[in-house]
C-alpha cells in the first residue's frame, strides 16, 4: 500500500477507529447536501429520532432540480417544489446553513463550496453526489456517497470506508493552444478506462497540472469518478493558498499561517510510495470529444472513431452498443457531425474561467441556424461575476441563451432536456444513454471552447481552427 502520500496522511488524521468489518470509521470534516439525495436521509433520521450531529459541519444548497429560466416560487414542477420545501424544512429543523436561491451563494454544490472557502486542503468531504471528487483539487479527500451514507454522516459525521490504493498520474509538459483541463481528463479516462481507477484514489501531478489554476484543477478532479476512482486530488501549493486567501470561510489572521503550515505538511512527501504511477505527455493531448456512451469512449477531434479491431477485446461489446445508440460509424471522423443543442455549464465546466474562455470564442461569431445554445453559470457568484465582465452580452449577441445557475442539462432533472434523438455538444461530465433528459438523446462531451466551436459551425469542429 502507498506510504507518505497526501491520501495516507489525511486518512490517518481522520481515522476514528477500525470497525469489525475491517473498514475504517472516518471522520468527515465537511458534509455538503442538496435537495435530491437528502430527503430520504432526513426521513431515516426522523424515524430513528436522531439529530444531525454536527449541523455546523453541514452545508446545504439547491442545484439539481432548479429551473434555469423562471425560478419564481412555487416552481412550475410540483415534484421540484416538494423537494425544495423538504430541504428548506430539514435545514430549519436541524439548524443547517442553507444557500437558497437569491442568497447570492446558491449554485451547484461543487461550485459554491470552493467559492465560499469551505473546501480546504487536508479535509475529508462527503456529499450525496458522484462528482464530489471535485474538491480534491484543493488537496482534500472527497467522496461522493449514497443516500444511506448521507444518513450516516448526518447522524455520526463519520463514514465506514475501506482504504484505497493511490495511483499517481503525472501530466508533464505544456498543453497546446485550444487544449484544456477537460481534454486532459477525457484523455486520461480514455487511456486508463472507465474502470481503471476502481479501488484507487488518483493523485494528479506533473508540470502541466502544476501550471493549472484552481478551476482547471477542479475540472480534472471532478471527473476522477468517471475513470472509476473513488476520489482524486492534487497536492496543495501556492496556487491553492492564493485562491483560498480572504474567502468567507478561509482561516483568518494567525489561523491562516497555522493552516498553511498544516496544509503544506499534508502534501505527499517527495519520497512517497505509490501503488501505481502513470505518466502522460501534455503535448500529445488534442481537443478531445466523446463518440460513445461512456466518458472513456473519447478521441482527439482529429481522429476517427475506433473500429472494433482498434479496441481491446473487453471494450468491444460496449463499443458495439455505442455505435448503435450514437449512430456513429467505426473508422469515420466524428468531426463534422451535426449537433442540435450546445450546453455550457455543470460542475465540470460552469465556472468563471470556463465562461471567459467560451466567450472569447463566441465573441463576434453567431450560433449556427437550427442550433439551440445556452450557457448556465455554475453559481450565483459566477453569474454575477460574468455579468460584471459583460460575458452575458457576448453570449447573447452570439445567439446563446443566458440562464440562471443550476445543474441544468448536465442531468436534466429540471426542464432543460434534449428532445428525441437530438445530439448535444456538452461541457458536462456524463454521456450515458438518456443522461440529458431524452431516453434516446445523444451527448458528446467536450471542453466549453469546443462547445462554442460546435455551436457556431453547427457541427463538431476542432476549436483550433477558430484560434
- Interface residues with ligand SF4 (CB under 6 A) are 63-64, 108-110, 129, 131, 346-347, 407, 410-411, 428-429
Phi-psi region of 316 (alpha: psi -120 to 50; beta: other; left: phi over 0): alpha
Q: Name the residue nearer to ligand SF4 (CB basis): 59 or 407.
A: 407
Q: Which of 355, 348, 335 is nearest to 449 (CA)?
A: 355
Q: Name the residue nearer to ligand SF4 (CB basis): 137 or 407.
A: 407
The whole-angstrom separation of Cα 318 and Cα 83 is 35
- Residue 212 CB burial class (10 angstroms; 0-12, 13-18, ≥19): buried
The whole-angstrom separation of Cα 191 and Cα 121 is 28
Q: Name the residue nearer to ligand SF4 (CB basis): 71 or 172.
A: 71
For residue 110, count other CB atoms closer than 10 A to its CB. Answer: 33
Query: To the nearest whole angstrom, how small is the minimum distance from the Cβ of residue 346 to ligand SF4?
Result: 4
Rg (CA), the chain: 21
Query: To the nearest whole angstrom, how small is the minimum distance from the Cβ of residue 310 to ligand SF4?
Result: 30
Query: To the nearest whole angstrom, how small is the minimum distance from the Cβ of residue 295 to ligand SF4?
Result: 11
Q: Name the residue nearer to ligand SF4 (CB basis): 34 or 459.
A: 34
Alpha-carbon distance values, 219 to 110, 134, 230, 323, 324 (Å): 11, 7, 16, 27, 30
Q: Name the residue nearer to ligand SF4 (CB basis): 133 or 288.
A: 133
Alpha-carbon distance values, 197 to 26, 230, 233 (Å): 21, 7, 13
Query: To the nearest whole angstrom, how small is the minimum distance from the Cβ of residue 23 to ligand SF4?
Result: 26
Q: Contact at 8 Å (CB) between 122 and 266? A: yes
Q: Name the residue nearer to ligand SF4 (CB basis): 142 or 166.
A: 142
Query: To the nearest whole angstrom, how small is the minimum distance from the Cβ of residue 278 to ligand SF4?
Result: 25
**Cell digits of residue 368:** 449556427
**Cell digits of residue 168:** 499517481
Query: To the nearest whole angstrom, how small is the minimum distance from the Cβ of residue 64 to ligand SF4?
Result: 5
Query: To the nearest whole angstrom, how small is the minimum distance from the Cβ of residue 186 to ligand SF4?
Result: 15
Q: Which of 96, 127, 164 is nearest to 29 (CA)?
A: 127
Query: To the nearest whole angstrom, how small is the minimum distance from the Cβ of residue 119 to ligand SF4?
Result: 14
SS (H, E, C) 83-97: HHHHHHHHHHHHCCE
Query: To the nearest whole angstrom, how small is the minimum distance from the Cβ of residue 113 to ligand SF4?
Result: 11
Q: Name the residue nearer to ligand SF4 (CB basis): 326 or 410.
A: 410
Q: Name the residue nearer to ligand SF4 (CB basis): 79 or 269.
A: 79
The whole-angstrom separation of Cα 362 and Cα 181 is 19
| Residues with Cβ within 8 Å of residue 429, at least 6 apart in sequence | 131, 222, 223, 226, 295, 346, 347, 348, 410, 445
| Residues with Cβ within 8 Å of residue 309, at least 6 apart in sequence | none
Query: To the nearest whole angstrom, how small is the minimum distance from the Cβ of residue 298 to ligand SF4?
Result: 17
Query: To the nearest whole angstrom, how small is the minimum distance from the Cβ of residue 89 to ligand SF4?
Result: 22
Alpha-carbon distance values, 139 to 122, 223, 238, 284, 424 (Å): 6, 15, 12, 27, 33
Q: Name the residue nearer to ligand SF4 (CB basis): 295 or 399.
A: 295
For residue 86, count other CB atoms closer than 10 A to its CB. Answer: 16
Q: Name the residue nearer to ligand SF4 (CB basis): 63 or 416.
A: 63
Query: To the nearest whole angstrom, how small is the minimum distance from the Cβ of residue 12 to ligand SF4?
Result: 29
SS (H, E, C) 289-324: EECCCCCCCEEECCCECCCHHHCCHHHHHHHHHHHH
Q: Name the residue nearer to ligand SF4 (CB basis): 231 or 398.
A: 231
Q: Name the residue nearer to ligand SF4 (CB basis): 219 or 428.
A: 428
Give me the sign of the Cα torsion angle 272, 278, 279, 283: negative
Strand partners, 171: 280
Amino acid at each position: 500500500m502507498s506510504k507518505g502520500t497526501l491520501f495516507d496522511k489525511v486518512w490517518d488524521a481522520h481515522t476514528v477507529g477500525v470497525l469489525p468489518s475491517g473498514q475504517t470509521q472516518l471522520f468527515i470534516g465537511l458534509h455538503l447536501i442538496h435537495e435530491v439525495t437528502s430527503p430520504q436521509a432526513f426521513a431515516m433520521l426522523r424515524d430513528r429520532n436522531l439529530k444531525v450531529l454536527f449541523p455546523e459541519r453541514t452545508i446545504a444548497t439547491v442545484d439539481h432540480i432548479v429551473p434555469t429560466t423562471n425560478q419564481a416560487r412555487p416552481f412550475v414542477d410540483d415534484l421540484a417544489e416538494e423537494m425544495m420545501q423538504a430541504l428548506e424544512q430539514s435545514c430549519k429543523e436541524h439548524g443547517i446553513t442553507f444557500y437558497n436561491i437569491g442568497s447570492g451563494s446558491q449554485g451547484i454544490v461543487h461550485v459554491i463550496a470552493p467559492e465560499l472557502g469551505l473546501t480546504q486542503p487536508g479535509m475529508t468531504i462527503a456529499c450525496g453526489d458522484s462528482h464530489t471528487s471535485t474538491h480534491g483539487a484543493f488537496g482534500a479527500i472527497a467522496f461522493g456517497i449514497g443516500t444511506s451514507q448521507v444518513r450516516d454522516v448526518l447522524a455520526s459525521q463519520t463514514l465506514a470506508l475501506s482504504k484505497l490504493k493511490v495511483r499517481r498520474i503525472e501530466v508533464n509538459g505544456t498543453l497546446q493552444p485550444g487544449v484544456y483541463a477537460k481534454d486532459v481528463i477525457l484523455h486520461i479516462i480514455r487511456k486508463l478506462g472507465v474502470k481503471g481507477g476502481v479501488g484507487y484514489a488518483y493523485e494528479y501531478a506533473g508540470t502541466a497540472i502544476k501550471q493549472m489554476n484552481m478551476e482547471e484543477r477542479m475540472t480534472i478532479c471532478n471527473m476522477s469518478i468517471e475513470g472509476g476512482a473513488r476520489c482524486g486530488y492534487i497536492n496543495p501549493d501556492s496556487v491553492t493558498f492564493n485562491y483560498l486567501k480572504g474567502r468567507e470561510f478561509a482561516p483568518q489572521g494567525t489561523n491562516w499561517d497555522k493552516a498553511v503550515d498544516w496544509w503544506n505538511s499534508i502534501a505527499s512527501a517527495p519520497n512517497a510510495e505509490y501503488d501505481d504511477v502513470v505518466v502522460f505527455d501534455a503535448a500529445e493531448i488534442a481537443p478531445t470529444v466523446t463518440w460513445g456512451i461512456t466518458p472513456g469512449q473519447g478521441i482527439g477531434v482529429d481522429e476517427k472513431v475506433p473500429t472494433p479491431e482498434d479496441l481491446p477485446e473487453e471494450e468491444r461489446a460496449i463499443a458495439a452498443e455505442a455505435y448503435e445508440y450514437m449512430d456513429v460509424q467505426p473508422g469515420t471522423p466524428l468531426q463534422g457531425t451535426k449537433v442540435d443543442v450546445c450546453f455550457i455549464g455543470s460542475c465540470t465546466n460552469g465556472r468563471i474561467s470556463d465562461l471567459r474562455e467560451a466567450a472569447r470564442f463566441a465573441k463576434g461569431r453567431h450560433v449556427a441556424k437550427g442550433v439551440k445554445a445556452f450557457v448556465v453559470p455554475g453559481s450565483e457568484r459566477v453569474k454575477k461575476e460574468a455579468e460584471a465582465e459583460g460575458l452575458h452580452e457576448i453570449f447573447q449577441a452570439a445567439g446563446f441563451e443566458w440562464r440562471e445557475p443550476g445543474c441544468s442539462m448536465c442531468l436534466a432533472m429540471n426542464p432543460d432536456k434534449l428532445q428525441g434523438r437530438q445530439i448535444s455538444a456538452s461541457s458536462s461530465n456524463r454521456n450515458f444513454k438518456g443522461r440529458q433528459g431524452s431516453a434516446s438523446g445523444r451527448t458528446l462531451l467536450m471542453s466549453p471552447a469546443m462547445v462554442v466551436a460546435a455551436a457556431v459551425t453547427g457541427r463538431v469542429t476542432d476549436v483550433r481552427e477558430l484560434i
